[in-house]
């Protein structure tokens, strides 16, 4: 048996003591001491989320309001997402890009109603990137006010029972539109509720003050449908849903086009550019990228982990796996990775080199497990 050491973590979320009380196995993640799994384990937690509802502590992620005159057009100078097309209270997925068109982070942006001359946006960014993201925003957009919500927890409630559970505490939330933002109250506590998540299931992310987060999480966990879910199952759920994990499936070297995120860039923004790396993005849209992220289904039972070499059936190297493991709902191995564009078509036969052995695999459509988002 071998095991890998981890970096020390110094930061704790407002729910840290709850995780420990629930018997979580804690490990460092992006500088935070986070629950990897609870006593029932990753398989059970994953399947419970798909069948009922799972509660995730995602308070390590960065939350901020960005506000000021022309804030929407200004943020568009850093991301390729079409923020001008967003209606009030609607959310869009986009990416911070570097001048080479590589992805610095991926994020969710909500447009909020104007306050006088100020346009307002709400951002949620990745934990590992948040300090750099906020520093970049301050440096690049000095005319805007960035208000980082460092005293605010973020709880995700995900799964087919999430809506009926949350509606017990916040009436009406069950008919809230997918990818929308609203404010609400629970026992006088202000909540920000988005109907969103990263599991492929219906669900919510709920932002609330650290001081009340523990009480609210306990109320949710007291509901018979809800179990606590760790980062281990969060990873297997998002992989089955075909969603990228920053730093693995996308990073500073991969463009959104290579990352199969072209859908997140509108026609207007593709045509107009005006974001970092636009030249590369426009060239890749026009000519196709040299490599592209695909779903990969290994034959047999052996998982192909991150870093696994991908070759043609003839043994020519064409890429590598960026996320790979076992899908509990799929009940088998699954992977995502980058392959040369001429081997990216659905149905293409590939070879995965696992521990020196060639294993047959096939390029498949993403997601691996159908999304079940709320469509009204």
Residues that bind other proteins (CB under 8 A): 1-4, 36-37, 41-44, 46, 232-233, 235-236, 301-303, 305, 325-326, 328, 333, 355
* Minimal distance, residue 209 CB to other proteins, in Å: 32
* Minimal distance, residue 326 CB to other proteins, in Å: 4
Nearer to other proteins by Cβ, of 200 and 232: the residue is 232
Task: For residues 22 and 26, give the distance between their C-alpha atoms in angstroms, rounded to a whole number.
Answer: 11
Q: Check if the beta carbon of residue 137 is closer than 8 Å to that of residue 34.
A: no
Which residues lie closer than 8 Å to 74 by C-beta, 6 or more apart? 68, 141, 143, 144
Nearer to other proteins by Cβ, of 54 and 81: the residue is 54
* Minimal distance, residue 345 CB to other proteins, in Å: 28
Nearer to other proteins by Cβ, of 267 and 355: the residue is 355
Nearer to other proteins by Cβ, of 67 and 308: the residue is 308
Nearer to other proteins by Cβ, of 197 and 303: the residue is 303
* Minimal distance, residue 108 CB to other proteins, in Å: 26
* Minimal distance, residue 305 CB to other proteins, in Å: 6
Other beta carbons within 10 Å of 117: 8
Task: For residues 58 and 61, give the distance between their C-alpha atoms in angstroms, rounded to a whole number.
Answer: 6
Task: For residues 44 and 303, give the distance between their C-alpha atoms in angstroms, rounded to a whole number.
Answer: 19
* Minimal distance, residue 331 CB to other proteins, in Å: 9
Strand order in the sheet with 152-158: 181-186, 189-194, 203-209, 152-158, 53-57, 226-228
Nearer to other proteins by Cβ, of 36 and 191: the residue is 36
Written as six digits, the tokens of 231 are: 């980062």
- Angle between the N-to-C axes of helices 231-240 and 42-51, in degrees from 0 to 180, rounded to the nearest 10: 60
């Amino acid at each position: 048996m071998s095991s890998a050491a981890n970096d020390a973590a110094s930061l704790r979320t407002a729910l840290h003591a709850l995780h420990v009380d629930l018997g979580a196995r804690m490990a460092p993640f992006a500088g935070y001491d986070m629950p990897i799994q609870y006593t029932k384990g990753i398989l059970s937690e994953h399947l419970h989320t798909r069948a009922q509802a799972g509660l995730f502590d995602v308070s390590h992620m960065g939350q901020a309001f960005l506000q000021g005159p022309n804030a929407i057009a200004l943020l568009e100078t850093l991301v390729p997402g079409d923020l001008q097309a967003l209606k009030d209270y609607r959310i869009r997925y986009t990416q911070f890009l570097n001048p080479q068109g590589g992805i610095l982070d991926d994020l969710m942006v909500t447009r909020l109603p104007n306050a006088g001359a100020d346009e307002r946006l709400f951002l949620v960014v990745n934990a590992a990137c948040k300090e750099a993201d906020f520093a970049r925003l301050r440096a690049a957009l000095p005319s805007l006010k960035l208000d980082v919500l460092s005293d605010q927890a973020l709880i995700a409630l995900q799964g087919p029972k999430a809506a009926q559970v949350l509606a017990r505490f916040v009436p009406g939330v069950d008919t809230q539109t997918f990818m929308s933002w609203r404010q609400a109250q629970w026992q006088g506590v202000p909540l920000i509720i988005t109907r969103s998540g990263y599991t492929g299931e219906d669900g919510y992310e709920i932002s609330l003050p650290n001081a009340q987060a523990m009480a609210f999480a306990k109320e949710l966990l007291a509901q018979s449908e809800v179990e606590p879910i760790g980062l281990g199952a969060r990873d297997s759920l998002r992989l089955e849903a075909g969603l990228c994990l920053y730093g693995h499936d996308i990073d500073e070297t991969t463009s959104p086009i290579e990352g199969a995120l072209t859908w997140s860039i509108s026609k207007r923004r593709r045509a107009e550019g005006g974001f970092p790396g636009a030249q590369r993005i426009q060239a890749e849209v026009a000519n196709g990228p040299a490599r592209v992220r695909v779903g990969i289904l290994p034959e047999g039972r052996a998982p192909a982990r991150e870093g696994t070499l991908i070759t043609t059936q003839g043994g020519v190297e064409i890429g590598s796996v960026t996320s790979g493991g076992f899908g509990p709902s799929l009940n088998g191995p699954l992977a995502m990775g980058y392959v040369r564009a001429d081997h990216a078509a659905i149905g293409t036969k590939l070879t995965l080199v696992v521990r020196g052995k060639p294993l047959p695999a096939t390029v498949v459509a993403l997601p691996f497990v159908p999304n079940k988002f709320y469509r009204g």
